[in-house]
Structure 1
Amino acid sequence: MSIKRKMKQWLAPVGAACVMSLATTIHAAEPLKVGLVAALSGQSAQSGEAITRGLTIAIEEINANGGILGRPVELLRRDDESNPTRGLLAARELVQREEVAVLFGGLDTPVSLAIVPVANQMKFPFMGVWAAGTPITQNGASENYVFRVSAVDELVDEALVQYGINEFDMKKPGMVLINNPWGESNELGFRKALDKRGMEWAGIERFEMNDTDVVPQLSRLKNNGADALLMVANVAPSAQVVRSLDRMGWDVPIISHWGPAGGRFTELAGDSAERVHFIQTFTFVEGEEDTKGAGILEALKERFPEIQTLADVTPAVGIANAYDAMHLAAKAIEEAGSTDGPAVRQGFYDIRDHDGLIKFYEQPFTPDQHDALGPDDYVFTHFVDGRIIPLNP
């Protein structure tokens, strides 16, 4: 036997051992952790579940392609119970103890606003995927570590006002706002949008999360001549507005931020839930084929057996925003070449483009723009038989 042939025989098992060793090393690599702080219980629990689903599908895709920096991605979740204090404690625990590379936020603007200063102080990337409060990303920090794939209140308010004018010939709206920082953020946006058009408003009424009757507030708006309502609140309080209108017998157009999409709105609001027109950034469309949305829908059905129809993926906006946000965060970390906070922040700026579920992103983030979505990415919807359906598909 030639020396060359003998060497091949000797080296073959060595080469196979090396390949197996490499595979074992990759498989055994320390997980790269990402965190989620969101409402996983209570009236808005569907929002947290939707975000979880979107992140999960994206993470499984990423892991199937080698993970991030050669490490498998692992999702850690914490329930903020829609409470800012609890959300802040959960964020600190995930960042300091679990050392997550990126923290994702949930539905509630007050919770996100509580986390923002800490994110900037501790220099960890915080990615919003639902809460729309303008100050979340426009927070005035000289080094801003907060990014977002979601709607932005100021832009949404502009769109809501214009929709009311176009669809309902709205001339004197009344504002019905939840009494928290999210409501305050939208009051500023509505005032700006209405002032820009020289329009007056019938009044500004506020209500609490646990209010069970808002007839007095609505009666004042009706008496002041409101011809439409601009509503900002999450699931349960939005449902109370609808029920109070039913008790009053007042059939007035309701143009809403996307709060009703975050949970059991149709169950809580009753038959009149369909009258609320609200904004979204994405909806799955029945009958779509050979699209990214159709592929993600099939992946959702396979991964989560409880999903049988489009009604089961409500709210789609949480799934889509989270899915795109996770892939963008993965690109930022790859660009950074590490999980170091400042490097990942720069990594977000270095993303040139990304073919996402909501849209094709071209340089989604810059030092002056931390919001990847704009008004061209909004769609108006309403509930039909428990499903969120585009009003102008």
Structure 2
Amino acid sequence: MTERFSRRTLLGATLAGLAAPAAWAQAGTGGEPIRLALIESLSGAFANTGEAVARNLSWAIERVNARGGVQTATGARTLALERFDNKGQTEESLAMLRAAIDKGCRVVLQGNSSAVAAVLIDAINKHNEREPERRVVFLNYSAVDPILTNELCSFWHFRFDAHADMRMAALMSVIREDRALKSIYLIAQDYSFGQAVLREARRQLGQQRPDVAIVGDELHPVGRVKDFLPYAVKIKASGAQAVLTGNWGNDLTLLVKAAREVGFDGRFYTFYGNALGAPAAIGEAGVGKVVAVADWLPNVPTPESAAFYKAFRQRFPDPRDDYVHLRMQLMIEALAQAIGRAGGTEAVALARALEHADVSLAGRRGRMRAEDHQFQQPLVVGVMERQGAPGVPFDVEGSGYGFRVVREISAEQAAMPSSCKMVRP
């Protein structure tokens, strides 16, 4: 799909391409599949996040394979997703990286931990220097610590999500206009990403809303807190009118459940409050109060977006599986495009092709910035409403609540400068 397509043509292509059944996945291709290694939490506290990623990537791969796979110098080949369970641990992630390379995977996919991503970047840098004949590239769909495309930027690493500072700026564009807001509580998971969220929240609040008092500033262990009631009690006792959090997975769901139980009725400004149980956990108390930033939301008001979301729901009809990310689809489209340009998966050629990725799907376009390998794409901010309210045709996870888009941020507006000093082969 290109921008030259008319809206009608683009909508038709979306419907036809996205609805391709999985049974077509191997049609019309030959040769060994190109193995993509998913290194993610597939068991333990964050297994739901890992499985959600696997669904997104599997659907994207099915779509590529349904149209004949990817073109290489030796002919058309399909893509195949190989699952490696890191159990949410950095050491296990390194073991899974070695296993993936030994199995012949030359593309690594990971995202649900910036700490894991940083370890993988370092390990891949060293591996690629030590074993040039088995080099790999790393595609990151969710690890958003800004350092990964700044101080730790790597020729082998590509980030397809907006980093935390970009997401914070999008949220701040809404907070800036909330003139009734006078006090806010900051809480996040105690690791590199959560620390970056709170650091940037303090900086941007100081610049744009110095009148807002920060009445709480707290980090908690990742994935180990089973009872968030003590945290919720402190939030309510602080008198905060709103909470800003980068929490994700069960750490977000349990936090908002606890806040609801203690009667906190303020706003939640979130990075990930739009899925994985959070809307259902908050329930009616979240209407008009839970704000989320994302690269895309199901209620983006275009026919192309609606067709994309309907196709996902057709492929995964169980409402519990409702966690679709357009950026993950764009990532696989970018990979397929780059493999075609590079003629295969030789890592240097593939990385150079990925530096020029320019892909469109469902009416949204994203382009890779070569200087730091940070994907540039539009962002949206949504507020939780009842399904059926104006602007909310779709709910989330069968909860009866969806997110109405209240702010669209263009790729140019979302862009931020980088301090990357990339070493290239």
Per the alignment, residue 13 of structure 2 pairs with none
Aligned pair count reads 354
Deviation readout 1:45-68 (Å, 9 max, x if unpaired): 343333223322332232233322
Per the alignment, residue 144 of structure 1 pairs with 155
Per the alignment, residue 96 of structure 2 pairs with 90
Task: Decide whether the 8 Å contact of 1:149 with 1:321 is kept in 2.
Answer: yes
What is the CA-CA distance between 1:186 and the residue it aligns to? Answer: 0.7
CA distance in 2, matches of 1:234, 1:365: 25
Per the alignment, residue 314 of structure 1 pairs with 322
Deviating 4+ runs (over 6 angstroms): none
CA distance in 1, matches of 2:363, 2:52: 15
CA distance in 1, matches of 2:274, 2:114: 15
CA distance in 1, matches of 2:353, 2:104: 18
Superposed, 1:1-393 pairs within 5 Å as 27-68=29-70, 69=72, 70-94=76-100, 96-123=101-128, 124-141=136-153, 143-167=154-178, 169-197=180-208, 199=210, 200-208=213-221, 209-222=223-236, 224-258=238-272, 260-261=273-274, 263-266=276-279, 272=285, 275-285=289-299, 289=303, 291=304, 294-295=307-308, 297-298=310-311, 301=314, 303-304=315-316, 307=317, 311=319, 314-317=322-325, 320-351=326-357, 353-357=358-362, 359-361=364-366, 364-374=367-377, 376-382=378-384, 384=386, 385-386=398-399, 389-392=402-405
Per the alignment, residue 5 of structure 1 pairs with none
CA distance in 1, matches of 2:278, 2:294: 15
Cα separation, partners in 2 of 1:272 and 1:295, compared to 1, 3 Å? closer
What is the CA-CA distance between 1:77 and the residue it aligns to? Answer: 1.2
Task: Decide whether the 8 Å contact of 1:214 with 1:240 is kept in 2.
Answer: yes
Which structure is higher in helix share? 1
Cα separation, partners in 2 of 1:217 and 1:100, compared to 1, 3 Å? same
Greater Cα shift, 145-154 or 365-374: 365-374
**Which residue identity lines up with residue 258 of structure 2 in the other structure?**
S
Task: Decide whether the 8 Å contact of 2:38 with 2:108 is kept in 1.
Answer: yes
Tell me the TM-score normalized by structure 2.
0.73
What is the CA-CA distance between 1:193 and the residue it aligns to? Answer: 0.8
Deviation readout 1:142-166 (Å, 9 max, x if unpaired): x432112213101111222332332
Cα separation, partners in 2 of 1:210 and 1:372, compared to 1, 3 Å? same
CA distance in 1, matches of 2:232, 2:253: 14
**Which residue identity lines up with residue 147 of structure 2 in the other structure?**
P
Greater Cα shift, 378-387 or 194-203: 378-387
Q: Percent identity?
A: 19
Cα separation, partners in 2 of 1:191 and 1:292, compared to 1, 3 Å? closer
Task: Decide whether the 8 Å contact of 2:307 with 2:362 is kept in 1.
Answer: no
Task: Decide whether the 8 Å contact of 1:265 with 1:273 is kept in 2.
Answer: no
**Which residue identity lines up with residue 331 of structure 1 in the other structure?**
Q
What is the CA-CA distance between 1:347 and the residue it aligns to? Answer: 0.9
Aligned-residue CA RMSD (Å): 3.0
What is the CA-CA distance between 1:284 and the residue it aligns to? Answer: 2.6
**Which residue identity lines up with residue 196 of structure 2 in the other structure?**
S
Structure 2 residues not aligned, in runs of 5+: 1-27, 129-135, 387-397, 407-425
Cα separation, partners in 2 of 1:227 and 1:196, compared to 1, 3 Å? same
CA distance in 2, matches of 1:388, 1:128: 29
What is the CA-CA distance between 1:33 and the residue it aligns to? Answer: 1.1
Task: Decide whether the 8 Å contact of 1:109 with 1:133 is kept in 2.
Answer: yes
* SS of residue paired to 2:203: helix
**Which residue identity lines up with residue 294 of structure 1 in the other structure?**
A
CA distance in 2, matches of 1:39, 1:357: 28
What is the CA-CA distance between 1:324 and the residue it aligns to? Answer: 0.9
Task: Decide whether the 8 Å contact of 1:236 with 1:268 is kept in 2.
Answer: no
**Which residue identity lines up with residue 341 of structure 1 in the other structure?**
A
Tell me the TM-score normalized by structure 1.
0.79
Task: Decide whether the 8 Å contact of 2:167 with 2:294 is kept in 1.
Answer: no
Task: Decide whether the 8 Å contact of 1:315 with 1:388 is kept in 2.
Answer: no
Cα separation, partners in 2 of 1:296 and 1:201, compared to 1, 3 Å? closer
Which structure is higher in strand share? 2
CA distance in 2, matches of 1:131, 1:370: 13
* SS of residue paired to 1:29: coil
Cα separation, partners in 2 of 1:387 and 1:50, compared to 1, 3 Å? farther
Per the alignment, residue 132 of structure 2 pairs with none
